[in-house]
Structure 1
Amino acid sequence: MKIKGAVATAFLSLTLLTGVANAGEGTEWVPPLDVAARDKGEMAFDGCRPKPENIDPVMCVYGDPDSDRTVALVGDSHAMQWGPPLIRLAERRGWRLVTFLRAGCPIAQVKFESNCDQWRELAFEEIKDQRPGRIIVSTSIARRYTLTVRGRPLSRRGSEKILRKGMTHTLKRLSRLPSLVRRGPRLKLIRDQITAPFLPPKCLAEHPDDPEFCRFARKRKFGPGFDMIGATRMGLLPAIDPLEALCNLRWCYSARGNVVIYRDSDHLTATYARTLTDWLGERIGF
């Protein structure tokens, strides 16, 4: 396992705005639309995930490296997108935040791709060795995670039942770690957000005078999602639902005020994620 001592960078503090009022033609978008795709946050630029060809976990450490309060962030790139607010919380609350991340690899215990599956097993062992008192889990539930059973490719919808079972297994395995069992339930799920049916930065650029055009329905494609089903089966409720901060009761938006929410169809900009620090901190509960 590679261990990286990451140092969080100071970023502009932005106020979370409600709605999309006052945004329109001539808006100075933050981040600018032409660089929004690269607004991935500290964990991406600190190299906190292995390359696709590697199976060894890469662990980054944020917050107080000498703290006896270790919090582990586990999952794929949809877990990594929560790095910016979690780093701030680690600094404020004195956590030792450690990361176990792999892009495009479901944390659910399923047969997916060989390198992913091997990484997952190694990561579980390393997580155990780090003795976290608390674990935060997040995963994409989108179309990418289609499985193959007995040589037969399944559709994404056909894969859902297996992913639900695999996610339940993963959460059970993590919840039984000795460092968590002794301290009571300390496992928290951040649910996946909804994938936009277009590229929000591109849509905002094409409709500079009407950002509300770039909204989309608040509806998860595959029901509650295997992440939420696993958490429900394991009694790990309430889960944290980002739709509270991304959507109203009907629509999800590409921007709030002049802050761009999505850097692509299914990842938050680091800039917007940072504005959710207090919101996330209230819901984590530790």
Structure 2
Amino acid sequence: MSGGVDVFFVISGFLLTGQLARAACRGPLELRRRWSRMILRLLPAAATVLLGTVVAGAVLLPEARWQQTVREIVASAFFVENWQLAADAVDYAARSNTTSVVQHFWSLSIQVQFFVVWPLLVALVALVARHAVHRLHTHLTLVLLGVFIASLSFSVALTATDQPQAYFHSLTRVWEFALGGLLALWIDRIPWTRDERVAFGWIGVLGLLACGFVLDGASVFPGWAALWPVVCAVLVLQAGVTRSRYGVDRLLTWPPVRRLGDLSYPLYLWHWPLLVLYMASRERDVVGPLGGLAVLALSVLLAVLTSRLVEAPALRLPVGVGDAYRFGAATLTVVLLAASLWQAAATQRDRPSDGLGGPENPGAVALADGAPEPAPLLPAPVSVNEDWVRVDEWDCSPLPGFRTDVCTQPVESPPDRRIVVVGDSHLQQLTGALIPIAAQHGWQLTTMLRGACPFSTASEVDPDDAGCAAWNDAAAAEIAALRPDAVVTLASRDVRSGRTEQTPSGFVERWAELDELGIPVLAVRDNPRFDHSVPDCVRRHGRDAQGCGADRDDVYAPEPPYALREDVPGGVTFLDLADVVCDETRCPAEIGNVLVYLDDNHLTAAYAATLALVIEDQVVAAVG
């Protein structure tokens, strides 16, 4: 729950700012010594968990998750996991990554960044105030107030426009540290009565409990919503030690609660990897009561062992400042070496795609030419989750008003035709089939892609996503300005078991707009969606397992939904993808020794590339 993280940030700001302000009044802050203590306090336990995750992950995680996990372990070792996840939040291909075993390091990363930067900020303010206590208090108050206002404003703005990125962005959380710092500076100067502080404490605790039930932190935080747990945390801190028989501090200072607090750091580090590894080993997406108890018990056990055998000895090391930094560098080196060995193992298990489209791995061509003899699948299981069509190396620039890019394929000579591919991530993968066709015929492709946002006059996937609707309007305006020779987009969506496929009116309305501009449209029927990861199913049950694919009649109606509409403009041509991802009866997991899907609904780039020969004539007839 994000609210717990926000509370933690407020408490950290409260404690560290108070310590730094008092130390600044006494003299120099000795920043190198402070940072050396941080290294000894935080790094040994974190490194222990990361090393344990490398070993357990190599044994328990599917090969398809290895590269993502290694990438995030390295980011976590450098305490920049939040930036890795923020980058993934912008990259839709990465958004479909499975839950990482070290994803929880994002909040620790922000915490460490705060521990590095905050002393510098206080030292700078102290230098300006020249050690006068009253001036330091005033200057620090003004600076923290400015940081609070700026960061909260940025948090609200970014959450409104790009919540997934805002969730992990360091600057959207700084205001929480600043508010904790302001409280540390003023807590002794506000004369609340004991009864008032008792009330503050219980209001804060009850508010925090209610927050967990009322707010969905993963979808609305940080922004304004984070004020709820933050204000509650401030109330609890303001309550302090009341020594009242009715005060919440009696509960919070109860010995078992204090002991749990002593274990909070290693418990925080261990619980998430154990949970994710348990689900991976059991091949489940949820944890039952018994499994949850087992994970909790093992988390507590490992937390106790880490506290006694790693944390405490590290803090007792008789080392100087320089030794602490060398110790930290050595510890970090061990983690990076372990991650590198795991990455090397993943690289060894990967297979080059040189044979793609050849006799052993013909892919879609096998639907017409017949299935080849069984051969190792492409892409290799260890890299299938990474098998996205990448257009971000083209000439890219942001769509006006949005972070997502308009990317144009570089060409050596003026193209014969300019084609725009617009829509969601399914169109991104289909671009893999269009690239070789464009190269063959001298075309130039331009992509306008936004995940979970097919080209429509409405937000089809999430009706409340105003950003998607606005993006579609901007994309339509950009297409009108470019006046391409043709546009490729989706003809249908939501192809699932039970024949849920539809052609929304918003699709047809966009086609009509393009038709009025005289721009031909190639509308592509969507590929199926499954309720499971197709490559994981193949890994567990084999390529021929019936449950890994679907019966064609179960997902596709004989007549596509767009054929039943009477308002389709005359300038629209359709490409039925059902004929190239399914045979007459089945939509299998692999075709021609090529995995068709990289997850539960996206074509692999490898399979998309083999589609080129199969659909070329239809594409050329429609747009060429």
- Per the normalisation by structure 1, the TM-score is 0.75
**Alignment CA distance shift 1:229-1:11 (3 Å):** farther
Q: Flag structure 2 segments of 5+ consecutive residues without an equivalent.
A: 1-351
Q: Distance in 1 between matches of 2:604 and 2:598?
A: 5
In structure 2, give the amino acid aligned to 1:268.
L
Cα distance, 1:205–1:253 mapped onto 2, change above 3 Å: same
Report the counterpart of residue 531 of structure 2 in structure 1: 197
Q: Is the 8 A contact 1:90 1:96 kept in 2?
A: yes
Residue 516 (structure 2) aligned to one of 170, 176, 180:
176
Letter in 2 for 1:169: E
1:218 CA displacement: 1.1
Aligned-pair CA distance for 1:164: 2.0
Q: In the alignment, which residue of structure 2 is the partner of 1:270?
A: 605
- Residue in structure 2 matching 1:250, options 585, 590, 595: 585
8 Å CA contact 2:394–2:408 kept in 1: the answer is: no
Aligned residue for 2:407? 60
Go from structure 1 to structure 2 and tell me whether the alpha carbon gap of 1:211 and 1:221 turns closer, same or farther (over 3 Å shift): closer
Alignment of 1:1-286 (within 5 A): 12=354, 13-14=356-357, 15-16=362-363, 17-18=366-367, 22-23=373-374, 27-43=375-391, 55=402, 57-62=404-409, 64=411, 66-111=414-459, 112=463, 113-138=465-490, 141-142=493-494, 164-178=504-518, 180=519, 186-208=520-542, 210-219=544-553, 233-235=568-570, 238-284=573-619, 285=621, 286=624
Distance 1:225 1:44, change over 3 A: farther
Query: Counterparts of 1:139 and 1:80 in 2: how far apart (Å)?
Result: 15
Structure 2: how far apart are the matches of 1:49 and 1:28?
39
Structure 2 Cα separation of the partners of residues 217 and 47 of structure 1: 41
Query: What whole-Å deviation, never above 9, does each CA across 1:234-255 have from its counterpart, x for those lacking one?
Result: 2456511111111122211000
Q: Aligned in 2, Cα 1:232/1:279: closer, same or farther, shift over 3 Å?
A: farther
Secondary structure of 2:380's partner? coil
Provide the C-alpha distance between the structure 2 equivalents of 1:212 and 1:222, rounded to a whole number of angstroms.
17
Amino acid in the other structure paired with 1:119: W
SS of residue in 1 equivalent to 2:407: strand
Query: 1:265 is paired with a residue of what secondary structure?
Result: coil
Structure number with the bigger relative contact order (C-alpha 8 A, sep ≥ 6) is 1
After superposition, the C-alpha distances for 1:65-111 in whole angstroms (9 at most, x for unaligned) are 73252111111111111111211111111112111111111312115
- Which structure has the greater CA radius of gyration? 2
Deviations 1:154-192 (A, max 9, x none): xxx7x96xx6221111110122225x2xxxxx2111110
Cα RMSD for the two superposed structures: 3.4
Identity of aligned residues (%): 25
Q: Structure 1 pair 34/46, CA: closer, same or farther in 2 (3 Å)? A: farther
**Preserved CA contact (<8 Å) 1:168 1:230:** no
User: Between Structure 1 and Structure 2, which shows a larger proportion of strand residues?
Assistant: 1
- Are the aligned partners of 2:527 and 2:577 in contact in 1 as well (CA < 8 Å)? yes
The alignment of Structure 1 onto Structure 2 pairs a total of residues equal to 252
Question: Structure 1 regions of 5+ residues with no counterpart?
Answer: 1-9, 145-156, 181-185
1:45/1:243 CA distance change after superposition, 3 Å? farther
Q: How far apart are the structure 2 equivalents of 1:77 and 1:228?
A: 24
Residue by residue over 1:246-281, the C-alpha shift from the partner in whole angstroms, topping out at 9 and shown as x without a partner, is: 112221100013211111111110001101111121
Where 1:173 maps in the other structure, the secondary structure is helix
Q: Which has the higher helix share?
A: 2
* Whole-Å separation in 1 of the counterparts to 2:581 and 2:512: 29
Q: Which residue of 2 aligns with 1:148?
A: none
Q: In structure 2, how many angstroms separate the alpha carbons of the residues matched to 1:226 and 1:44?
A: 33
* Structure 1 contact 247–253 (Cα < 8 Å) conserved: yes
1:34 counterpart letter in structure 2 = V
Q: Which amino acid aligns with 2:512?
A: K
Task: Please list every run of at least 4 consecutive aligned residues from structure 1 whose deviation after the TM superposition is greater than 3 angstroms.
Answer: 10-13, 18-23, 44-51, 209-213, 219-232, 235-238
In terms of mean alpha carbon deviation, does 201-210 or 269-278 score higher? 201-210
Contact 1:231 1:239 (8 Å CA) reproduced: no
Q: Do the aligned partners of residues 211 and 44 (structure 1) sit closer, same or farther apart at CA in structure 2, a change above 3 Å counting?
A: farther
What is the TM-score of this pair, normalised by structure 2?
A: 0.36
Compared CA separation, residues 170 and 237, structure 1 to 2 (3 A): closer
1:7-27: per-residue Cα shift (whole Å, max 9, x none)?
xxx96342233466643xxx5
Distance verdict in 2 for CA 1:70–1:90, change over 3 Å: same
Partner of 2:228: none
1:227 Cα deviation from its structure 2 partner:
5.8
SS across alignment from 1:103: coil
